[in-house]
Every structure is written in structure tokens, then in C-alpha cells.
Amino acid sequence: MTNNQFNSSTRLAAIIGNPVAQSLSPAIHNAVFRALKIDWVYLAFLVESGKVRGALDAMSVLGIAGYSVTMPHKNEVAKIVSEIGEVDEVVRLTNAANTVMLQGDGRICATNTDGQGACNAIEAMTSQKIAKCRAFVVGAGGTAAAVVYSLIKNGATEVVISNRTPKNAEQIAQNYDNCRVSRDIEADIASVNLIINTTPVGFSPEAATRGSEAQSPIDVALIGSTQTVLDAVYRPLETNLLRAAKNAGAQTVDGLEMLVHQAALQQQFWLGQSGDTSLMRSAALNNR
């Protein structure tokens, strides 16, 4: 099926958020649908705050097969679906959903693939294993909550969270015995194998070498050669954090790799099969 061969049997999936114009998800998912010869098409829908419930109601009315959910709606989607549909353990513990599916009976269900996508990207691209590692997570939003959940589910020995608002980090840490909030960033970073940034610090929509890209969520001088660093930011592809980590001799994973791995898990949730992450990465790079 080519891009314009749509008919009444074509299933629709979409990303919802605000903003969504910059999203690479349509390129990623449509590349997989074409490769797998699946009669689906994936679009981007701008959904403003206050209209999320309407977007979810539209799934059953219009037969929309699935949603990806991005900022700022992950928490609201989790809350609404927990009331009107089904959510799994990761959504219950993190209060954040990034994936929604319309079931055959018309009910909707939600999960979150961000955390496992990060873990899969790390293990696919580096020699770092999640099991028995010690991790330092920067941020305490929905992505951070999902990452912490998956790190611990995959056997991390300890997860330390650092956030500008410690209270938000405490809300995540309290769910796990082997998770705590950082009180001494320098000492905590020195003690870990893995550093993950889940904040937007370093994001530059034009991917230009200026402005916010010059920032880093942590003091880059603290990064050592034995560590692995993942930055969830993918614009620019090489953030200041990743550049400094490479210069320090650390293993690095960019945000695009995390994006394609979490997208593969979304496809598995919707379709029961997933596409090639290399294909998805190439499609994303061709549409940057």
C-alpha cells in the first residue's frame, strides 16, 4: 500500500499533544506500517489542554485504533483512562500514559513505553546492562517516573533521582524500596554506572548549536569514562550532555534511539508485532 491508497478499512493512529508539529512519530510509525504492509496510517493531532477527554472519546466514535501521547497530556490521559478504561501497572504507579489503544469491545486501555524504551535502547547500543546497575535519573516528570519504574523492573540495584523540586522526586521514589532522592549530586553521580536525563534541558527546536543546547542538566565535569549516559532529548541529536560524555570516554545513547525503541513497544501493544528500529531511526533522520 502506498501513502495515498487509503480507504474505509484503513485504521488511524495518531500522536496527541501540544505542540506536535515537531514530532517525528508520524515518520517513524508510517515507515513501519509500510514495511509490514499494514493498512494503518499515523497522523499528528494538536490537542489543547481541556480537550483531552474529547480526544479519548473520539477513539470509539471514530474508530481510532491508537494514540501516542506526548507533553503535556501524559498525566491527564492516565487519569482519564483509569476512570473509563483499563490501565496497567506502569500507568498505575507512574500516573503517566504515553500509549492508548481502542479494544475490540470499544473500551480503551493505556500503557507507558517510555521507560522500557529507554532500557532497550541502552542495552541495544552499549555494553551497559540494566540488571544490577546503579542509575542516576535527572527529572521527576512522567518520563522520569516511567524510566525509574522500568529500571527497577529490569533489576537495577539502586536508582537515585535528582530534580529541582525534591517533592516531585520523592513522590516517585516512595513507590520503591531501592529508589531515593539525591542529597549530594556529586557523590551520587560518582557512584553510578548509568546517567539518564529525562528533562528538556538541552532541547533546541532548530537543533542549532546555540541557546538552550549550551545547557546541560548536570555538571558535565562529573561524568566518568566508565559510565553510560542517555539523554531523552533528540533535538539536537548530540546535546551538550552527550558531547561532554563522549569527550569523557563514556558510552552514550541519544534521545532518538530511545524514541524508536519506545515506538517499537507501542507497535507491539497495538499490533502484536513491531518494526525494525534501524528502519525507524532512518525514517526519523530523513524527516528532521
- Give the residue numbers annotated as catalytic, written as ranges: 74
Instruction: Identify whether the C-beta of residue 134 lies closer than 8 Å to the C-beta of residue 192.
Output: yes
Beta pairing partners, 15: 44, 68
Distance CA 50, CA 176 (A): 32
Distance CA 193, CA 135 (A): 6
Closest CA to 266 of 161, 134, 120: 120
Instruction: Give the full edge-to-edge strand order of the sheet including 158-162.
Output: 179-181, 158-162, 134-138, 194-197, 228-231, 251-253
- Long-range contacts: 171-179, Cβ < 8 Å, 24+? 171/140, 172/94, 172/140, 172/144, 172/145, 172/148, 173/148, 175/93, 175/149, 176/148, 176/152, 178/152, 179/148, 179/152
